[in-house]
Structure 1
């Protein structure tokens, strides 16, 4: 029986290596973020499921009242989100019969995002993780039956630190890492001012045949990056090679070639290429890095230590 009262925070995520290739079982390096999404469930007297979601500034961006049959009593914005939420509840019910009726009987859920919705840090993955825990179903099976994807973001939602994630259907391998080399303090995350649709990136990746040799090379780069004796310049070279492989696979330019050819260091796209965050590795101070990106219109620059759990 799902818990009547339940409160939990799930972490956001960043995939540092292996993007796209992780879908084909290539080991990928992923890290949970300090910021996440907090959920609280409490019973109510009224029928149905009352749901309210708030952004980092405490502003309500979505609310709804769902009945067991999917009908909506009331709704504030984001009609698509109501449908997605009901889809999740239906899928949970298929995995644990009775979950849908229970969830929509007399419950209130309130969620609070700690990161910006457009940052791409895991609004959906934290939601799936919460629904899975609350309604007592397997999170990876729930993902497989709904949104799809590699599942690394679900692994990050409850991770305590860096992981190497290897997809294998609904039974992935998740290896925790004690990984914090000194050169990470010379790296920064820069928001690209736009969110990319990951489904579009996946479709582009799936449209080409990926040689096994390429997958092996990406896997070797992930392994090389986690070597404890690695230094900044070696890490830059590894990520430069990683960018080259992904760019060749997707037939596109790297972000450094496209937007920042004069950056004095190495840049790497994260997540779906074309949006979300860039990982910047360089020997500049934070002030110099901020100055470089700010004058080009990119005002969100976060150090590794500030961002990652």
Structure 2
């Protein structure tokens, strides 16, 4: 049996602008996804996926010929199976030897976090499959899901990273982010998905000079966030970051929209309006969110590796 594991991710700085060259800070989570691969002799990949409560949420039987020879074109409604076959085909093209030398596999995945948390169900899967096939995970992601690649960097480094797309490729530097005030940082799941199409369209309409200026500001903020020594400075940096992105995507800050009376700092993570936000404060501030009906509140030490 082969086993592979990848950590989930949270993008602390640089959402949206990381695609245009801004330096972003990404952190690995304690929650991730594992994959176990056993050889079989039946000419199929028997795929079983378990969620964080050990319930099966996806099963499929995929003929090897469907991957290696494209013998079956899926027209079914199961979008995940169709996507999985596509990923496996791309992985096979990158390394044709793996599926040619064996006659089948039993593959089992285990996700440690709820699938709606947005911690990287896709990126951890890509990283694990790439590890299994011994191929470049960044290339596999580019050919399947796309994106900047910061989530893959976190998955394979198992460390906080600064991530930057440059003209010559990508710059990935491992770093550390466990500030003295980390016990005053927590994450709140908003339990909603945001349709970010309009905000992305607005972002793409920005002039190159405006984007370049924003990227420079966010890059500086990223390094200031990493080195800041006080919670008050951290809160100020979060507020400045939120203001810059708010103007770029033409959306109000999440604190303005939903928590205008909140006493601590708040920052959106990833696509604005959904999944987790980062908040600062103590137990009283956590109670603020509980009283508003937000049940998933995770302290920094329990979320970040």
The TM-score, its normalising length taken from structure 1, stands at 0.90
- Unaligned runs of 5+ residues in structure 1 are none
Select the residue among 172, 177, 180 that pairs with 2:178. 180
Contact 1:144–1:170 (CA<8 Å) still a contact in 2?
no
- Aligned partner of residue 131 in structure 1, secondary structure: helix
Query: Are 1:224 and 2:224 matched, yes or no?
Result: yes
**In the alignment, which residue of structure 2 is the partner of 1:166?**
164
**In the alignment, which residue of structure 1 is the partner of 2:121?**
123
Query: Are 1:143 and 2:138 matched, yes or no?
Result: no
Cα deviation code 1:131-161 (max 9, x no counterpart): 1111121111111111100100001112233
Structure number having the greater helix percentage? 2
**In the alignment, which residue of structure 2 is the partner of 1:236?**
235
Aligned residues: 298
Query: Are 1:29 and 2:25 matched, yes or no?
Result: yes
**In the alignment, which residue of structure 2 is the partner of 1:15?**
11
The TM-score, its normalising length taken from structure 2, stands at 0.91
Contact 1:89–1:99 (CA<8 Å) still a contact in 2?
no
Cα deviation code 1:91-111 (max 9, x no counterpart): 1223223455568x4101100
Q: Pairwise mapping of residues 201-212 of structure 1 onto structure 2 (< 5 A)?
A: 202-210=200-208, 211=210, 212=212
- Aligned partner of residue 31 in structure 1, secondary structure: strand
Contact 2:180–2:229 (CA<8 Å) still a contact in 1?
no
**In the alignment, which residue of structure 1 is the partner of 2:66?**
69
In the alignment, the residues of structure 2 paired with residue 34 and residue 80 of structure 1 have an alpha-carbon distance, to the nearest angstrom, of: 28
- Unaligned runs of 5+ residues in structure 2 are none
In the alignment, the residues of structure 2 paired with residue 78 and residue 42 of structure 1 have an alpha-carbon distance, to the nearest angstrom, of: 28
Instruction: Give how far 1:206 is off.
Output: 2.6
Relative to 1, partners in 2 of residues 1:263 and 1:114: Cα closer, same or farther, differing over 3 Å?
A: same
Instruction: Let me know the Cα RMSD of the aligned residues.
Output: 2.4
